[in-house]
Structure 1
Amino acid sequence: MMQYVAVFLSSLFMCSNVFAGSVSSVSLDALSTALNERMQVMKAVAGYKAQHHLSVEDLPREQVVLDNMLHNAQQAGLEPQSVEPFVHALMNASKAIQYRYRADWLSAPESDVSVVDLAVTRQQIERLDNQVLAAISQHLMTGTFSQEDKAFLMSQLTAPHLSESDKNNLFASLARIQRSH
């Protein structure tokens, strides 16, 4: 009888490890997809701001984004204070991408940049931010972000104008995020 219990418990343990691994893999895929999409939207943001002679820096808007993400982080079961450095890294990478597009356009203007109303683009960014937070929360249910996770994310983050330094900053702050207790 003890043998059957031991086999059952070991099978249960193996199944839970397989399930945790698949949840982790799915959440990393969702995270990389949402981050890439968010970074790709920065071309539209840069185009709108260039066309309307707006600065890339918009500190009041950044505060709104920060406040929303911290609130949504808490709703997703994440510790808001641990999420704040990640949000700053995300916004810094987004601004860097916008600056890089603007610099490119100074030397070779693009006439085919589609300019969507910024309010519509911001709704898309907010949706993607919520997907990012949900994926982070799901991943942290199975453990922390490992070096293998970093290597995977670094290879998957392929949005134009996202530098290696931007990726490293994102991952460093991502690795410090904690779930709420």
Structure 2
Amino acid sequence: MFKYLILLLSSLFSLSAMASPDPAALFQTISQRLSYMEDVGLYKANHHLPIEDISREEVVLKKAVQSARKAGLNGNTVAAFFQSQIAAAKAIQYRYRADLLNQPAQRQPRDLKKVIRPALIQLGNSINTEMKQYLDQNGSFTDKEWAEFQKTVTNPYLSAADKKALYQALSQIKIN
């Protein structure tokens, strides 16, 4: 009986080890991070702040690279991915603010410093962790995950070109 139990358990462990992590969870985290950009754009519009903030972008990139290295990822390849996210985030904000010219928002944005930035930092760290887990099991992101990425990363202000640039940068990420 003990022999059969060990055989059963070893079979279960080997099957779970062969299962690859689903990229949809990572893609959902990326989409969730980008979902904050309308609030960022509205906050900046309400406070007469420019969308582009180079000094803040440098801080975001520095923290993303630190998080990536801590997770075991190549900092340079992750920096390129986060630069692509920043470009997509600014595109979302610009397009959303353009819509605000014709139809003012009927709500207040979440607080940039108390709510949005802490959430973005946490989501950025999660993205790095999830990327590392996926790459450990699969080696890289390929064209076969592209359809799932397109379906999962949704924002009405994100263009097809924005998504393609994000996915191309994601597919270049390497493990240290």
> Normalized against structure 2, the TM-score is what?
0.87
Aligned to 2:3: none
Runs of 5+ consecutive residues of structure 2 not aligned to the other structure = 1-6
CA distance in 2, matches of 1:170, 1:35: 10
CA contact (8 A) 1:30 1:131 kept: no
Aligned to 1:68: 63
Runs of 5+ consecutive residues of structure 1 not aligned to the other structure = 1-7
CA distance in 2, matches of 1:155, 1:20: 25
The aligned amino acid for 1:138 is Q
Displacement, 1:21?
A: 3.1
Aligned to 2:165: 169
CA contact (8 A) 2:61 2:82 kept: yes
Aligned residues: 166
CA distance in 2, matches of 1:153, 1:17: 26
CA distance in 1, matches of 2:91, 2:67: 24
- Structure 1 residues 20 and 84 mapped into 2: Cα distance closer, same or farther (>3 Å)? farther
CA contact (8 A) 1:79 1:177 kept: yes
Aligned to 1:57: 52
In the TM superposition, what are the counterparts of 1:24-173 in structure 2 within 5 Å?
24-25=21-22, 28-112=23-107, 114-120=108-114, 121-143=116-138, 144-173=140-169
Secondary structure of residue in 1 paired with 2:124: helix
CA distance in 1, matches of 2:101, 2:171: 36
> Normalized against structure 1, the TM-score is what?
0.85
RMSD of the alignment, in Å? Answer: 1.8
CA distance in 2, matches of 1:100, 1:17: 46
